[in-house]
Structure 1
Amino acid sequence: MKMTFLTILFLILNPVMVSNDIVITYKEKPVANVSRADLMVPFLDDPVLDPDKFMEMMEQMEQKIYQRPVDATINDNGAIVSGKVGYKLDRTTFKEMFLRHFFKNTSENLEVPVVEVQPTVDEQLLSKIRKQKIGQYVTYFNSNKKERAHNIMLAAEAINNHVVFPGGTFSFNKVVGKRTKERGYLPAPEIVKGELTEGIGGGICQVSSTLYNAIDRAGVQVLERYSHSKKVPYVPPGRDATVSWYGPDFTFMNNYNQPLLIRSKKTGGSIYVEVYTSDTVEISPRDVPSVRNGME
């Protein structure tokens, strides 16, 4: 109703329509050529902007110009890498500008208005929460099993530098994402219903299990964790965390009053996971058994 009222008002104030298209630009480069005729519907014998078509066009425009912000990270040398500001469509301003162009006898281009999207994690936050290591765990694997080692590396990279804010929940499946060939995962042995079989992404359960033990040592509240139906060689009995895209997940909640930083790295035949936070946090660590090299 609001959109219809605005279009009628524009018609009263600017009754002369032009037939030329509206060229929409972003950073002075054309990104769309919008036909006025395609966005109009008959209304009271006069052309009126179709609000549904306009919203669809605006959604497409937002997808074209959206730039995701990049969080700050810590590189392998321990240095903080600055994040990057993202950008999204300023919808309110865009509506106002588009309506003026739509009902105005002008051939001027319409430059897309944007607003900044700040990174969730910046350098200042990272420098604060990297000070105290509250949990760590390492497990070992046979690096000669190339496909499995490759999958472990991908999953380790996916959780590395992830920050969980106070009261926030971490989901391994959500953070790592679906394990597919398109995303680089390879077929490797995995346990399904007690049987060893080949599956895309085989080996990532070692990453989730290593993360679980590091998190448990840090005294963090585990929400969801399941063991394999068969004993695994890389952690002590009952200390594993099986995950599957369409099945079990490993989740935990940050029960501390400061963010948690996860650091994860594959080195040779080892996978390391460390948990950091601010030095102001008083932790309640748990006793978790370690593993010895050569278990697999």
Structure 2
Amino acid sequence: MLTVLFSIFLFTSSAETEVFQVEDDQKIVLDQVEIDQYYLSYFDRVFIDEKKLNVLMDNLEKTLYKAPVNAKLADDNQVISEKPGITLDRSKFEILFREYFYQNKNQKLQVPIVKVHPKVDSGLIREISSRQLGSYATFFKTSNKERSHNINLAAEAINNTVLFPGETFSFNEVVGERTKEKGYKRAPVIVKGELSEDIGGGICQVSSTLFNAVDLSGIQVIERYAHSKRVPYVPDGRDATVSWWGPDFVFKNLYNEPILIRAKANQGKMIVSVYSSESAEHFTGND
């Protein structure tokens, strides 16, 4: 069996680093001698130092946590199944830890884990992809490879986003900061009415296409800004400029069902479509 060592910083008076033995990618074991060190100082090792124990559990969570993966649709509309994640079973661990500490079992404590279920499973993704609520397409020149590349990256970032009733979508939060490290390239952008070049140039076409696709009765636009200069890929007044340190495009799902956003850029065409279930309707709050 492969043994891996994880270093976890613990809150101790000497600010030492504790090393836990991990028997595989999901198992951490604590020896009795490790458990015994969590005593409260000045009380002859009779009581647990609760502050140290909480720090231990926080760091075990960070070490063990594996995020769940939502179900999604592939390019050919086949469902890619979800994958559960894992995390520390905090309540069970605390019970076991106290039992081992006070009863001095002199045995190894295997740290308990619990599954983290994904928010979107295969059944839901099938249901909310059955009815198209809206769609919009724009076009771009593939000869500008840097700009095309940025459009592709941003489209991939918002593709398969599921927004539940009452939830808010932020373009900047979903796409994240546009940096070289994330693969974004310098391309033309409009800054204060002037054409310039910057990292991530082109993604405003993605946000503008998205705005036109979600311009529906069940979507509330919370934040949208127009460019200071007219853009050629959407009609006048139908754009949504975004910038990491500036404008964002934000909207809220007012439907009674989750919505699914599909986005794809291919061969000079940027298209965003919005889907939901057959029973989706604009929720007004009235009976």
TM-score by length of 1: 0.81
Q: CA deviation at 1:41?
A: 3.5
Alignment partner, residue 91 of structure 1? 90
Aligned-partner residue type, residue 114 of structure 2: V
Task: Label 1:28 to 1:72 Cα distance change in 2 as closer, same or farther (>3 A).
Answer: closer
Alignment partner, residue 72 of structure 2? 73
SS in structure 1 at match of 2:215: helix
Alignment partner, residue 170 of structure 2? 171
Q: Could you report, residue by residue, the CA deviation over 1:7-31 in whole angstroms, capped at 9, with x for unpaired residues?
A: xxxxxxxxxxxxxx98575667547
CA distance in 2, matches of 1:193, 1:22: 54
SS in structure 1 at match of 2:264: strand
Q: Give 5+ residue unaligned stretches, structure 1.
A: 1-20, 285-296
Alignment partner, residue 115 of structure 1? 114
CA distance in 2, matches of 1:250, 1:188: 20
Aligned-partner residue type, residue 225 of structure 2: Y
CA distance in 2, matches of 1:253, 1:74: 22
Alignment partner, residue 192 of structure 1? 191
CA distance in 1, matches of 2:258, 2:229: 35
Task: Label 1:97 to 1:121 Cα distance change in 2 as closer, same or farther (>3 A).
Answer: same
Matched ranges for 1:12-27 at <5 A: none
CA distance in 2, matches of 1:109, 1:86: 25
Structure 1 stretch displaced more, 89-98 or 34-43: 34-43
Aligned-partner residue type, residue 280 of structure 1: S
SS in structure 1 at match of 2:243: coil
Alignment partner, residue 246 of structure 2? 247
Task: Label 1:88 to 1:269 Cα distance change in 2 as closer, same or farther (>3 A).
Answer: same
CA distance in 2, matches of 1:165, 1:46: 50
Q: CA deviation at 1:43?
A: 3.0
Alignment partner, residue 136 of structure 2? 137
Q: Could you report, residue by residue, the CA deviation over 1:123-168 in whole angstroms, capped at 9, with x for unpaired residues?
A: 1111111111111111111112111111111110111111111121
CA contact (8 A) 2:172 2:249 kept: yes
Q: CA deviation at 1:261?
A: 0.7
SS in structure 1 at match of 2:151: helix
Task: Label 1:28 to 1:206 Cα distance change in 2 as closer, same or farther (>3 A).
Answer: closer
Task: Label 1:45 to 1:31 Cα distance change in 2 as closer, same or farther (>3 A).
Answer: closer
CA contact (8 A) 2:161 2:262 kept: yes
CA contact (8 A) 2:36 2:101 kept: no
CA distance in 2, matches of 1:24, 1:93: 19
Q: Give 5+ residue unaligned stretches, structure 2.
A: 1-18
Alignment partner, residue 53 of structure 1? 52
RMSD: 2.4
SS in structure 1 at match of 2:230: coil
> Which of the two has higher C-alpha Rg?
1
SS in structure 1 at match of 2:208: helix
CA distance in 1, matches of 2:117, 2:82: 9
Question: 1:267 aligned to 2:266?
Answer: yes
Q: Could you report, residue by residue, the CA deviation over 1:228-261 in whole angstroms, capped at 9, with x for unpaired residues?
A: 1111111111111001112111111111111111
Q: CA deviation at 1:201?
A: 1.3
Alignment partner, residue 232 of structure 1? 231
Task: Label 1:84 to 1:22 Cα distance change in 2 as closer, same or farther (>3 A).
Answer: closer
CA contact (8 A) 2:146 2:186 kept: yes
SS in structure 1 at match of 2:93: helix
CA distance in 1, matches of 2:23, 2:123: 35
Q: Could you report, residue by residue, the CA deviation over 1:85-142 in whole angstroms, capped at 9, with x for unpaired residues?
A: 1111111111111222334444422212122211111111111111111111111111
CA contact (8 A) 1:185 1:201 kept: yes
Alignment partner, residue 150 of structure 1? 149
The number of equivalent residue pairs is 264
SS in structure 2 at match of 1:136: strand
CA distance in 1, matches of 2:227, 2:175: 19
Q: CA deviation at 1:75?
A: 0.3
